[in-house]
Structure 1
């Protein structure tokens, strides 16, 4: 996607620094000096305040090196720290029972903003927020709707949109007419990936007047790479030549299976081609790093971020596909980019769940 890094929306405005007013004087040089000193003092005070701001991140069970959204989230905080000088830290959760303990520790450490990464932490985050009303909390991949606490921020992505694009690419690329999908834990969030992908496959199949099937299976884990490899290997053995994963660390195993079978995998969240340059066809990008960075910056700048949900998709240049497209070729890539425009202008609305998918497919007939 040609403008994927030229990010986001008017909603994510950068903060401005307002200079203090200068007093009147008859000297021609005094006002300039006073204004310059005021600006310097204001900037110094702002820098000092930001350096005192502390942000903690608690991962889900995928861990910070999941090659997916936990890692991407941490990269966003690292960039924020580099740019603004804020203190950032992460704690890994090895199992769901760690969520509450890790969130409590982050609160005890005096953090101003605490991130929970992943929808699985939804209950733990709201409980922590109730116990610590003076601390701001934010969560990736979860929305509490009109029940969002005043000190909690949700960050959501329309993951069905990039998934539709990679499904279209998979259908245009497959030689066997059979492709696969491996999900992490069964949830509404992962359904966005599954049904967006299936719809993209169906759309391309209709366009090409071909019958292309999708084999879908869930690992019920985000960190069991061995299970991901086993599931994908079976799919490849059963005739799939492309498998898309939305499974965090499980997806590392899917990509390993593709490399071993000399077939294609499709990555998720970040451009995962570096894991297997000859076998990762493309990736469904979800720029969690930018969302975490920009929402955190609003908090650092003193803006009110709580009590609402930020929702990002193609229209905000927050999701998409990588520009690199050697393995698929120019024709398929350009066709996918053309579809991107149709999604942005709502000519096409990718489905996010089974019911929406069934209606979408019915509309293709």
Structure 2
């Protein structure tokens, strides 16, 4: 069963974006992993060792006794992107319900996923998030070994060996292709070279949604624009991201969109270097409003826009829902364009009014069903052939 969720109040969402800019908020009743941003799986002192009884998984209205925690993927909690957005949402949940307990464990390597998830399970965490599709196998195993505890995974749907949904896993997905379509519209309306680029992290069905949505948006504006595509096969290698961006810019692209996590940070570095050298090139961010996140590119003014994916919203919403005794186990929760689960960032200083008008028009067409955005290569090829 797939459900859609409406957005939270705008004030909560705005505060969540601001929270994403740093990891030093210590106003929760739980330690916020001070000193755990160095990539080490060093969590002994940061997780409650008293052990919470998960029976009932329902807290009082103020959240007393409820715990919601997450395990990052290898990008780390300060990746300026996917993991950071998830932690921002969990942080905001802890601030709004100060009697709850929120925390994270950082994974240094994929081999950390199962041990980290198991650790939170042993300690009785009421709701444990696995952040990212790379955790699919680990969360399947840990959830099946702990059937009385609640888990959630972001960006994929986990089933058992028979293909059936697992009752104690909630599956969070996004319509990344729809948001990426709008990013493609903006890129197409701003390119001066008639060539743009896309950098992907690990090539997968998920990242293909970003790629194909972006290509469709570009070609909805101009079917003749060339699009360079390259995958890094890594979500945490900024130097490789910079190298790929260098090649694309040198080849003629003047705007590059990334869906590559920490690898994409290298795109911003390369764009700044080139602009400082007298060129005019742009980058398009992902997951968060990356013009607002802290990083080596801060103040570089090279980010044309970002495709915002409300991982923060999804984590907050599911935590509150579970706290109130309504855990959607075995269900798929989709956050799409129509409920603002994806979209274009609020920072639009570098985007023309003409492009914003076009984005709004295309957005309405997608929501109304007049445009069905392709997700796979085959869907894109069929879509493009109809132009």
**Global fold match (TM > 0.5):** yes
Query: 1:95 corresponds to which residue?
Result: 109
Query: 1:323 corresponds to which residue?
Result: 346
Q: Any unmatched runs of 5+ in structure 2? A: 1-5, 10-58, 276-280
Query: 2:230 corresponds to which residue?
Result: 217
In the alignment, which of 107, 111, 116 is matched to residue 125 of structure 2? 111
Query: 1:337 corresponds to which residue?
Result: 360
Three-state SS of the structure 1 residue aligned to 2:153 is strand
Report if aligned partners of 1:115, 1:139 keep a CA contact under 8 Å in 2.
yes
Report if aligned partners of 2:140, 2:158 keep a CA contact under 8 Å in 1.
no
Normalised to the residue count of structure 1, the TM-score between the two structures is 0.85
Report if aligned partners of 1:107, 1:132 keep a CA contact under 8 Å in 2.
yes
How far 1:358 sits from its partner (Å)? Answer: 0.6
Q: How far, CA to CA, are the matches of 2:167 and 2:97 in structure 1? A: 25
Indicate whether 1:7 and 2:25 are aligned. Answer: no
Query: 1:152 corresponds to which residue?
Result: 169
CA deviation vs aligned residue, 1:262-305 (integer Å, no higher than 9, x gap): 21000001111134452100011111100110011110001131
Q: Any unmatched runs of 5+ in structure 1? A: 1-5, 10-44
Report if aligned partners of 1:8, 1:316 keep a CA contact under 8 Å in 2.
no
How far 1:109 sits from its partner (Å)? Answer: 1.9
Indicate whether 1:273 and 2:291 are aligned. Answer: yes
How far 1:51 sits from its partner (Å)? Answer: 2.2
Query: 1:299 corresponds to which residue?
Result: 322
Q: How far, CA to CA, are the matches of 1:200 and 1:342 in structure 2? A: 12
In the alignment, which of 172, 181, 195 is matched to residue 189 of structure 2? 172
Q: How far, CA to CA, are the matches of 1:168 and 1:54 in structure 2? A: 41
In the alignment, which of 279, 290, 303 is matched to residue 313 of structure 2? 290
How far 1:255 sits from its partner (Å)? Answer: 1.2
Alignment of structure 1 residues 198-277 onto 2, 5 Å: 198-206=215-223, 211-262=224-275, 263-274=281-292, 275-276=297-298
CA deviation vs aligned residue, 1:100-149 (integer Å, no higher than 9, x gap): 11111111222011000000001100100011111100000011366221
* Aligned Cα root-mean-square deviation (Å): 1.6
CA deviation vs aligned residue, 1:168-224 (integer Å, no higher than 9, x gap): 111111011111100000110000000000111111104xxxx21110101111111
Report if aligned partners of 1:255, 1:276 keep a CA contact under 8 Å in 2.
no
Q: How far, CA to CA, are the matches of 1:242 and 1:174 in structure 2? A: 6
CA deviation vs aligned residue, 1:70-120 (integer Å, no higher than 9, x gap): 100011111111111210110111111110111111112220110000000
Normalised to the residue count of structure 2, the TM-score between the two structures is 0.80
How far 1:312 sits from its partner (Å)? Answer: 1.4
Report if aligned partners of 2:285, 2:306 keep a CA contact under 8 Å in 1.
yes
How far 1:323 sits from its partner (Å)? Answer: 3.1
How far 1:257 sits from its partner (Å)? Answer: 1.0
Query: 1:12 corresponds to which residue?
Result: none
Three-state SS of the structure 2 residue aligned to 1:51 is coil
